[in-house]
Every structure is written in structure tokens, then in C-alpha cells.
Structure 1
Amino acid sequence: MAVTNVVVIGRRWYISLLLFINYLFHKTKLCTGLTTALLLSEDSSYSISVIAKHMPGDYDIEYASPWAGANYMPVSITGTPAQSWERDTWPALENLARNQPEAGVQFQDLKILNRKKDGDTVTAKWFAGLLSDKPWWSTVFPNYCQIPNTQLKEGVDSGHAMTSVCINTAIYLPWLVGECLKRGVVFKRAELEHIKDASTSHHSGEKPGIIVNCTGLGSLTLKGVCDLKLHPARGQIVLVRNESNGMTATSGTDDGPDEAMYVMCRPAGGGTILGGCYQRDNWDSQPDPNLAIRIMQRCVAAHPELTGGRTIEALDVIRHGVGLRPARDGGARVEKELIEDTWVIHNYGHGGAGYQCSYGCAKAVVELLDAHNYDKPRL
């Protein structure tokens, strides 16, 4: 969960950016909060504190960012705010893949496969923007093309191929922390019950005048916010040592309307993520062994190189993972609100798109904060 607070003292802005993680999964809020802190720290007039319940290196059902693949695979619909967030995020990830290999971001081939019969399933609706016949992101990716019908497997009606990026989250999240530390950001662990608790959080002891809330699913129960539009979208993955050739995602499966098939090989020896599912309102934190078997079977069928043509028994499993995506009816909330006597900028509810929206949403937060502070008298 993240909160940012600002007060004006002298000619220096004091900011407390708290990352208080409640329930997070696949591509979610620690990434969003850390990226927000990173972009805010580019302004040397800001003094920033980051407070988090969980930090990179922790493994917990409440902290799902390490379980993410992660990758850049746009799911937003044309004309929505999420489209601009995803579009604004690509240049930053592309730059990291090109120029900063230590960040754990790497170019990889990506294939998106669409089956018309999946049109009304939960998975296809989740991937809606990804499955468009004329996707807005076709001009974003290098090497984009539609896959010729002659190259599609039986049962697949259309497909897209492109060069995207895959992120080793075990490397990337600590890298984000390191970049923030180099810019003077202060980190400490804490857990908040009320959004206004952030008002006493800054390491300077100053009372901040604005809070940036990146609490993910935590905003469902965080006092002062309690956003009932939030709900969990449970995901389950299998992390294996076997390596795939590139990344693949399909519009659905024959195993159930909320089950998915996606494969991504993390760079720098991070293992391969096999997924998955999108189970709305399911809070179960334990892996379903039967679902795990179906996931592995689907992924091996799509990527036989994982096992050299053998069965799933040839998979070298590192661990099974479960987490809760912070989904929100109506989409992510990125806006300013007055709660009692405190201004709050919200940045949460991105579902499974936290990484691929991270820089775009952080940019939006910076713009909201700049507009809030514009022409404010400086003591």
C-alpha cells in the first residue's frame, strides 16, 4: 500500500510515500508504489519516506509482486485511461531492457493466440484489449505482425506476434529500491489501519499535507477509504526451472471459463512462470493441486520444449504460487480526493496490470501532485 504526504517548509517539499502491502498478486502494487517513489524522487526538492509492511525478498500471500512473471502485455481498451498508462509505460521498460540489464528486464518474443469460442469467458474478458483484431498497441511493439493463418494451430482463429519484455521480479524490485535509495528515499516497515496514519509517517517528523495511496486490495479495508468496488482476482502459477522459447498467452482454455494459459521465461535464470487463472472473489491462499496439474499440462502442450517433448513429470518445479490481484469494478483509481481534512492521491486497483501500467500511473500521480502544489505559497 502506498501513501504520499506533502508539506511545504522553507523551499523544500517533504513527502512520505508509504507502501503498506495488504493483498497483492501478479503485477501489482509494490511495483506501482516503488515506481511512483522513483519518479517523485527525480525532483530533488522532494524528501521522500517509503513505509511498507513487506519489502523485496519477502514471500507472503499479502505480497504478490515477487510471484509476477512479469511482462508487458497490454489488456486495456482503446480510449480508456488504462490505455494511456500502458502506452506511457512501454518506453521506460524498453529503455531498461536496452540500456540497464542490471534491472532484470529483457526483450523476448511474445505470441498472443485468440480462440473465438472463448469470447464470453472470464479469461477472454480479462484479456479483452489483448485480443482485438486491430489492437492499439500494434504501433508500440517492435516487430509486430499478425500471425498467418497457415502458422496457427488447430482451434486458434487468430494471433499476434511481437517483441515485448519479460521482467525477473526478484531482480527488478530490489533494483527499484536501490534506485530510490540513491536518490535519498528513506525506507522503513510499518502497517497502517487508517489512511490518516500516514500523516505522522515522514522520517523528518514533519506533518505532510497530502497522501498518495497505492494500497492495492488493502483499500478495501483501509479505514478512511474502504473502496467496495475492489475485489480479489485469485491467480495461481507454477514456477519451474525448465526454460521456454519466448512468451505465449491464449484467450482461454477448455478446462474452465476462468482458467488461462500463459508462459513467460524470466531473464537471468529466474525460472519460467506457468499460469494460470482469474478467479473473482476467491480469497483462497493455498494452491489447488488439481489446477496446478491442468496448468502444467496446458503449458507443456503449448511449449513442448519445456520438457523436451516429455510429460509434465519432466518439469522441475521450484514452487507453486497463489496471490490476489487487486481488481476493481470500473478500472483502476488514479485521482485526488479530500478525506476529512487531508488530500489523498489514489493509485490502486490495477488488477493484473500493475507492472505494465506502473510508469504511466506514476507519471499521472506526479502530474496530480504538481497540479495540487501549483502556486501554493512556500513559507
Structure 2
Amino acid sequence: MLCVIQLDEYFEKKPKDLDLWFKGVNPKFRDMEKSKYEGTGFEYGCEYETLAIEPRRYLKFIKREIENLGGHFICRSIASMDELYQDYEDSIVFVNASGIGPMTIKGLEDDKCYPNRGQNVLVRTKTDKGFSRSGEEYTYVIPRPLSGVVVCGGVNEPNKTHADIDMEIVEDEIRRAHKLAPEVISKAPDIAGYVVGIRPARKGGFRLEKEQVAKNKYILHAYGFNGKGYAFSYGAAYMVGTLVEEIEKEYTANTRKR
């Protein structure tokens, strides 16, 4: 589900301190010795420990935890928030984590949202080390130790939603992965499968805030994370929880005044 891995990250251009925001919170972070990347075209490299998530295992775990706490899952499609307001008229807080839902759902309209297609190659190989390259030829090689595969990527295709595998992208991702980590990915690797994901992107970045839509009726927006949904999930959930507590305190105080 969650595995600690070692990650080597290379940058085509030396990053600004803001790009290395995690440097001060990751105790295992260290600048890479220049001898490891000099003459390769990179201007900077770093090494650190991080977490690799196995999505299917992780999501099943989260679902079980929610159900154990009394939560219920209902699968349905809606065209307007009014449908939820009518069905759950006593509810005060609604969390909008609808991905690209604000493109079509009335009451959530946001023309900054758009779908962003991603595609990965899964390669069978045993390693607990990952690699990443930032720049024009953005590439990552991320292991999933529990499944015995490595995820090779990446690619961004804004406003594309088809699920068909593009073999040209497959070949390019293998080429880039081999170039970045030849000791892990060969020129003709053992391919375990492919992954296509339609990621919920948003121009200008994600939206994480409170909106009061009526008296004692709030929407907490948490969407538009693009390909960083898992990376930001804990922080986003924590922020949503904090906003719920604020609303609860405000509602309780107002009720006592009556």
C-alpha cells in the first residue's frame, strides 16, 4: 500500500529553493554529489527517501477506514447541486471533490477546469529505488515494490479523454525511462501493462476553500490537483477537516444565541 523508497531526482536546470520546498521537512534529503551528474546535461541532483503509493491497495484501505467510521458510499450521477440540497436538506456541509465535475455540474461552475490525460507503462522488475528527471524531457521511474512493477512516465495531454493506448507514447516513455535509469529499465523491458488516467486539472492550480452558498449551507471545494492528487491528498483532507470544524463551531455558537 505505502512503501518507503529511495529517489534520485535530476534537474536539467538548477531549481529555485521554492521548487525544493520539501528540503526542510525531509530529514533524509541531501544534495547529490556532482560527480554523479556532471557531464550528463543536468545542472543539479538530489537524493531523498519518499513514499510510493500502490493506488488500488491504498484506495481500498481508505474505503474500509471510512466505512469503519460510519461512512457510506453512494454511487450516482447529478446534473445540479440542487439535487443534493433537496435529498440532503438537513446537511450543512458539502465537499466538492468532484474532479472535473465543475465543468458540467450546475452550482459548481468553473471554466478553469479541464481533463488532462496521462498514460504510463508498467514494467516488471524488482527494485525499491526511483528516479525522476525535471525539465523539457520530464520522466519518472517509480517502483511499486508490493506488485513487483515499476511505473514509467510521464505525459500530459490536455483536453483528451480517450482510454486507448497510444503505442507511440509507450515507446517514448520506455526510451526516456531507459535513458534515465538504464540499470532498472532495459531498452526492451518486460511490460506488465499500461495505465491511462484522466486527471482533473485546473488553470491556475487547485481550488481548496470554503464557499457559503446559503444560510447554514456551505460547499468546501477540493479539486483541480491534476497529477498531484495522491501527493496532496493528506494535506487537502486535513484542510477540509479544519474547515468543517470551523463551520461546526460557528453553527453551534449561532444556535446558542437563538
TM-score by length of 2: 0.88
Q: C-alpha separation between the residues in 2 aligned to 1:201 and 1:247? A: 47
Equivalent residue in structure 2 for 1:285, among 154, 163, 188: 163
Is 1:149 matched with 2:34? yes
The Cα of 1:284 is off from its aligned counterpart by 3.6
The Cα of 1:201 is off from its aligned counterpart by 5.0
The Cα of 1:268 is off from its aligned counterpart by 1.2
What SS class does the counterpart of residue 150 from structure 1 fall into? helix
* 4+ runs deviating over 4 angstroms: none
**Equivalent residue number for residue 197 of structure 2:** 323
**Equivalent residue number for residue 46 of structure 2:** 160
**Equivalent residue number for residue 248 of structure 2:** 373
Higher relative contact order (CA 8 A, sep 6+): 1
**Equivalent residue number for residue 232 of structure 2:** 357
Q: C-alpha separation between the residues in 1 aligned to 2:161 and 2:72? A: 33
Matches within 5 A, 1:312-351: 312=188, 315-339=189-213, 342-351=217-226
Q: C-alpha separation between the residues in 2 aligned to 1:340 and 1:196? A: 12
Contact 1:142 1:164 in 2 (8 A): no
Q: Considering only aligned residues, what root-mean-square deviation do their CA atoms show, in Å?
A: 2.3
Q: C-alpha separation between the residues in 2 aligned to 1:145 and 1:306? A: 22
The Cα of 1:292 is off from its aligned counterpart by 0.8
Is 1:271 matched with 2:154? no
Deviations 1:183-228 (A, max 9, x none): 11112221222123223555xxx63122111011122111111210
Deviations 1:43-93 (A, max 9, x none): xxxxxxxxxxxxxxxxxxxxxxxxxxxxxxxxxxxxxxxxxxxxxxxxxxx
Equivalent residue in structure 1 for 2:187, among 311, 324, 329: 311
Contact 1:211 1:345 in 2 (8 A): yes
Q: Give the AA of the match of 1:262.
A: Y
**Equivalent residue number for residue 172 of structure 2:** 294
**Equivalent residue number for residue 211 of structure 1:** 94
Equivalent residue in structure 1 for 2:64, among 166, 170, 178: 178
Equivalent residue in structure 2 for 1:140, among 22, 25, 29: 25
Deviations 1:211-250 (A, max 9, x none): 1110111221111112101122221111122234411111
What SS class does the counterpart of residue 73 from structure 2 fall into? strand
What SS class does the counterpart of residue 263 from structure 1 fall into? strand
Contact 2:128 2:145 in 1 (8 A): no
Stretches of structure 2 that go unaligned for 5 or more consecutive residues are none
Q: C-alpha separation between the residues in 1 aligned to 2:97 and 2:68? A: 22
The Cα of 1:340 is off from its aligned counterpart by 5.9
Contact 1:214 1:346 in 2 (8 A): yes
TM-score by length of 1: 0.61
Stretches of structure 1 that go unaligned for 5 or more consecutive residues are 1-103, 120-130, 255-259
Contact 1:327 1:350 in 2 (8 A): yes
Q: C-alpha separation between the residues in 1 aligned to 2:179 and 2:87? A: 51
The Cα of 1:304 is off from its aligned counterpart by 2.3
